[in-house]
Chain A
Amino acid sequence: MKVLIAELRASIVLTLLLAAVCCGIYPLIVWGIAQGVFPGRANGSLVEVDGKVAGSSLLAQRFTGPKYFHPRPSAAGQGYDAADSGGTNLGPTSKKLIGTVRERVAAYRAENGLLPDARVPADAVTSSASGLDPDISVGNALLQAARVATARGIPKEAVLKRVRAHTEGRDLGVLGEPRVNVLLLNLDLDGKM
């Protein structure tokens, strides 16, 4: 019994000490360095338009109009909810998944003027893991370019030029996949960058 009391006493003291160091001092030091060296990133890579926060370059937001590039479908909250991230968690033989993708394939072909048997990029019709994937694949962006150009009344080549400018390669030449950031591309097309 004496042993147990001594152990419990030491455990309580240690828990409080570690809480002070690991949960107080440590995050505060990281916070201090982060705010001092990388304030923009530490505060969410927020993008401002006319002095107001318009979103984050790291997070997808909803775009539905023809003159904007569209992000991937989102299952975060009611869609693109940046305070409630998540995926559909539907398995590969799910009736709901297959039905939804069938509708999205048809819609994607229709809005981008593709042939009825055209192959559609996988990322355009499937939901991302976070529901906030800020990127689309390069192939997906290229297929949307004609629609965006028509809606804006500008030559397709001008849109393609912006797509190329916003195409990010693999990190260090090998990590990850090439991608296009939807929000930054759309803001650029609006002339708000």
Chain B
Amino acid sequence: MDIYGWVQLAIFLGLLLLATRPMGLYLFRVLDPEGKTFLDPVLKPVERIFYRLMGVDPAVEHDWKRYAVSLLAFSLVGTLFTYAILRLQHLLPLNPQHLGPLSGDLAFNTSISFITNTNWQNYGGESTMSYLSQMAALALHNFTSAASGIAVAAVLVRGIAWHTAKTVGNFLVDLVRTTLYLLLPLSLVYAVFLVSQGTIQNFRPYVTAQTVEPAAAPQTIVQGPMASQVAIKMLGTNGGGYTNANAAHPYENPTPLSNFVQIFSIFLIPGGLTFYLGRMVKNRKHGWSIWGAMAALFLAGVLLCWWAEAAGNPRLHALGVASASGNMEGKEVRFGIFDSALFATVTTDASCGAVNTMHDSMTPLGGLVPLVNLHLGEVVFGGVGAGLYGMLVFVILTVFLAGLMVGRTPEYLGKKIESYDVKVSALAVLLLILDIMGFTAWAVVSKWGLAGLNNAGPHGFSEILYAFSSATANNGSAFAGLSGDTPWYDTTLAVSMMIGRFFFIMPVLALAGNMAKKKILPESGGSFPVAGPVFAILLVGTILIVGLLSFFPALAVGPIVEHYLMIRSNAVF
């Protein structure tokens, strides 16, 4: 844990702090259908053409049920669009490597994966996907699934901020505005920056290199429109790599600078959303308190992960490997230990899932951090939108628990929290736990589940647990040794991704609709303060109790027992 790591950590948090307010203010304008932005002269005409062709009146708002129907209809169309391209890519243009079509179950898994903002990769990007599949079938959802997440977060925030309202907004309008005014312009600048660092952007066929040493075979080198896709995959917390190695690949992430910017870009929009919340509910301290709770959980994760990876693998040290450089298996020299630990923590705090280090090869406690992050529901800044609405569900539960403790009717920002609100919040949380543990339990006692393992012993169990945790949490990172491209895994993982996405969004929209209807009561001396350290600590406590109590037994037989086996025994698997 050297000084350079500490300095980088300080710069990272400092930049995030500085970016939160401007990002939040911009989001405030984008998520207001009548909001004005500096891009209006260019984009307003485009936005109007979109509405005209779609036959949508942007002034019309809907209730939460119609909002949900819009979201599901759009998701259904997107899934079919992607499925069709993946199955037909051999007949479509921009396929210079003549890659064949994807199998039915792989195409199904991949379409669900991208529509749910998961971007689980059961395919190896460069060996499976044509340029058209990358650009259209996959990258489209990098934009739209991110925009959908932000839209749902906006609806929940509106529900909390508005009162006696029957409507919550118009999904298609939120989606169009978020994509046009937020994601596209940021991605454009970002992609050009990535090219300046060495990320490729071309449409040439793969290059064959005559390698320098005569004895070595020629090397085929991947090409394609990579930078445009990498930019949005990070910014939209999608995480699906252009290549199999994702952000570890030197083309996707060429320099420590590109790496730092990529990590930062994961938190940029989620950080801004906390300020958006504070601005909307006219209680900025509430937004900053949530920011603080998130930052505390982030710091705890990154410090544990960094410490464990820097300590390295004693089994290898015993063989004569120098211990000073830490656990370098599955890491890149240009990033080293700290930048790998930071990436692994941030990508799972959020629902990004891009990786610059192979999580499967991390030390047991280093790998425990991403796994726990998934189990906490990715609410530490979190996925774009998904992080905030996940966190707000925990806020409702916190307010409820605090109300129980002091024996008062719980109130949140002047609104009574009633049985319905607590029920839908608890439902959202419990369904995810059931999804992860149910599928994991099934897989570990099934032939199909064990067939895909790359590691045995407790680490093998961790591979399966990580897979269903990642799918349910819509993360997409993996203990990637697991061979997930089998009909069984393709299907079960796709189902858990759908449950994790839509069975969370539906209760959240219902909650938003119910909150929007309520009256705001004047604040009294007995109102529970939702700003300040006491609130932040209670919130963190609630998240840890729900997350850790649910998953501790599973973690104990996975990474925790592996840790003790690694340091106290000579057992190998």
A interface, CB within 8 angstroms of B: 3-4, 6-15, 17-19, 21-24, 26-27, 29-31, 33-35, 37-38, 41-46, 49, 52-56, 58-59, 61-65, 68, 72, 76, 80-95, 97-98, 101-102, 105, 109, 117-123, 125-137, 139, 170-172, 174-177, 179, 183, 186-187, 190, 192
CA distance A98 to B573 in the complex (A): 10
Query: Are A55 and B250 touching (Cβ within 8 A)?
Result: no
Output the residue of A52, A68, A86, A127 with the most chain B CB within 10 A. Answer: A86
CA distance A189 to B208 in the complex (A): 23
CA distance A163 to B126 in the complex (A): 33
- Interface window among B22-30, B191-199, B409-417, B526-534: B191-199
Known: A22-B143, A30-B188. A87 touches B361 (CB 8 A): yes
CA distance A129 to B36 in the complex (A): 44
| B8 CB contact (under 8 Å) in A43, A101, A119, A174 | A174
B396 contacts A by Cβ under 8 Å: no
Known: A22-B179, A89-B358. A129 touches B248 (CB 8 A): yes
B61 contacts A by Cβ under 8 Å: no
B550 contacts A by Cβ under 8 Å: no
| A93 CB contact (under 8 Å) in B73, B124, B562 | B562
Query: Are B11 and A174 touching (Cβ within 8 A)?
Result: yes
CA distance A58 to B462 in the complex (A): 33
| A10 CB contact (under 8 Å) in B56, B200, B361, B573 | B56
- Chain A residues near B210: list those with CB within 8 A: 49, 52-54
Chain A residue at minimum C-beta to C-beta distance from B227:
A30
Query: Are A92 and B140 touching (Cβ within 8 A)?
Result: no
- Chain B residues near A52: list those with CB within 8 A: 210
Query: Are B249 and A135 touching (Cβ within 8 A)?
Result: no
Known: A58-B254, A87-B248. A81 touches B136 (CB 8 A): no
Chain B residue at minimum C-beta to C-beta distance from A94:
B455
CA distance A190 to B53 in the complex (A): 62
Known: A49-B212, A175-B260. A41 touches B81 (CB 8 A): no
In B452-475, the 8 Å CB interface with A consists of 454-455, 457-459, 462
Query: Are A55 and B320 touching (Cβ within 8 A)?
Result: no
CA distance A149 to B402 in the complex (A): 71
- Chain A residues near B361: list those with CB within 8 A: 87-92, 97
Query: Are B54 and A128 touching (Cβ within 8 A)?
Result: no
B259 contacts A by Cβ under 8 Å: yes
Query: Are A87 and B195 touching (Cβ within 8 A)?
Result: no
Query: Are B202 and A62 touching (Cβ within 8 A)?
Result: no
Query: Are A61 and B56 touching (Cβ within 8 A)?
Result: no
| B184 CB contact (under 8 Å) in A26, A54, A55, A122 | A26
- Interface window among B321-329, B438-446, B509-517, B537-545: B321-329
- Chain A residues near B233: list those with CB within 8 A: none
Query: Are A46 and B207 touching (Cβ within 8 A)?
Result: yes
Nearest CB in chain B: distance from A132 CB, A: 6
- Interface window among B292-300, B384-392, B429-437, B564-572: B564-572
In B52-83, the 8 Å CB interface with A consists of 53-56, 66, 69-70, 73-74, 76-78, 81
Query: Are A92 and B74 touching (Cβ within 8 A)?
Result: no
Query: Are A175 and B259 touching (Cβ within 8 A)?
Result: yes
CA distance A90 to B327 in the complex (A): 12
B273 contacts A by Cβ under 8 Å: no
Query: Are A92 and B364 touching (Cβ within 8 A)?
Result: yes
Query: Are B325 and A137 touching (Cβ within 8 A)?
Result: yes
B251 contacts A by Cβ under 8 Å: yes
Query: Are B221 and A59 touching (Cβ within 8 A)?
Result: yes
Query: Are B255 and A95 touching (Cβ within 8 A)?
Result: no
In B363-380, the 8 Å CB interface with A consists of 363-364
Query: Are A4 and B69 touching (Cβ within 8 A)?
Result: yes
Query: Are A83 and B126 touching (Cβ within 8 A)?
Result: yes
Chain A residue at minimum C-beta to C-beta distance from B340:
A129
Query: Are B215 and A64 touching (Cβ within 8 A)?
Result: yes
B331 contacts A by Cβ under 8 Å: yes
- Chain A residues near B313: list those with CB within 8 A: 92
B420 contacts A by Cβ under 8 Å: no
Query: Are B124 and A58 touching (Cβ within 8 A)?
Result: no
- Chain A residues near B8: list those with CB within 8 A: 174-175
Output the residue of B50, B227, B245, B362 with the most chain A CB within 10 A. Answer: B245
| B315 CB contact (under 8 Å) in A12, A13, A92 | A92
CA distance A6 to B56 in the complex (A): 9
B139 contacts A by Cβ under 8 Å: yes
Nearest CB in chain A: distance from B112 CB, A: 16
B406 contacts A by Cβ under 8 Å: no
CA distance A89 to B330 in the complex (A): 7
CA distance A126 to B317 in the complex (A): 12
CA distance A15 to B70 in the complex (A): 13
- Chain B residues near A35: list those with CB within 8 A: 201-202
CA distance A186 to B334 in the complex (A): 18
- Chain A residues near B192: list those with CB within 8 A: 30, 33-34, 37
Known: A89-B480, A129-B245. A56 touches B188 (CB 8 A): no
Chain B residue at minimum C-beta to C-beta distance from A80:
B219
Closest 6 CB pairs of A and B: A176-B256, A89-B481, A129-B248, A177-B336, A85-B245, A91-B459
Known: A63-B213, A121-B322. A135 touches B248 (CB 8 A): no
List 7 extra interface pairs beyond A8-B76, A11-B172, CB under 8 A. Answer: A8-B73, A59-B221, A63-B213, A80-B216, A82-B219, A97-B361, A126-B329
Chain A residue at minimum C-beta to C-beta distance from B5:
A174
- Chain A residues near B356: list those with CB within 8 A: 129
Query: Are B331 and A129 touching (Cβ within 8 A)?
Result: yes
CA distance A187 to B211 in the complex (A): 11
Q: What are 21 A-B contacts defined by CB distance under 8 Å?
A: A14-B50, A14-B74, A18-B143, A30-B188, A34-B201, A37-B195, A42-B195, A54-B212, A55-B219, A61-B211, A64-B215, A68-B212, A91-B462, A122-B323, A126-B321, A126-B330, A128-B331, A129-B358, A130-B243, A176-B255, A187-B212
Chain B residue at minimum C-beta to C-beta distance from A55:
B209
Query: Are B203 and A31 touching (Cβ within 8 A)?
Result: yes
CA distance A123 to B46 in the complex (A): 51
| B320 CB contact (under 8 Å) in A26, A81, A84, A120 | A120
- Chain B residues near A80: list those with CB within 8 A: 216, 219
Chain B residue at minimum C-beta to C-beta distance from A38:
B195
Query: Are A29 and B188 touching (Cβ within 8 A)?
Result: yes
Query: Are A179 and B245 touching (Cβ within 8 A)?
Result: no
Known: A14-B54, A93-B562, A190-B212. A83 touches B143 (CB 8 A): no
- Chain A residues near B127: list those with CB within 8 A: 83-84
- Chain B residues near A89: list those with CB within 8 A: 330, 358, 360-361, 454-455, 479-481
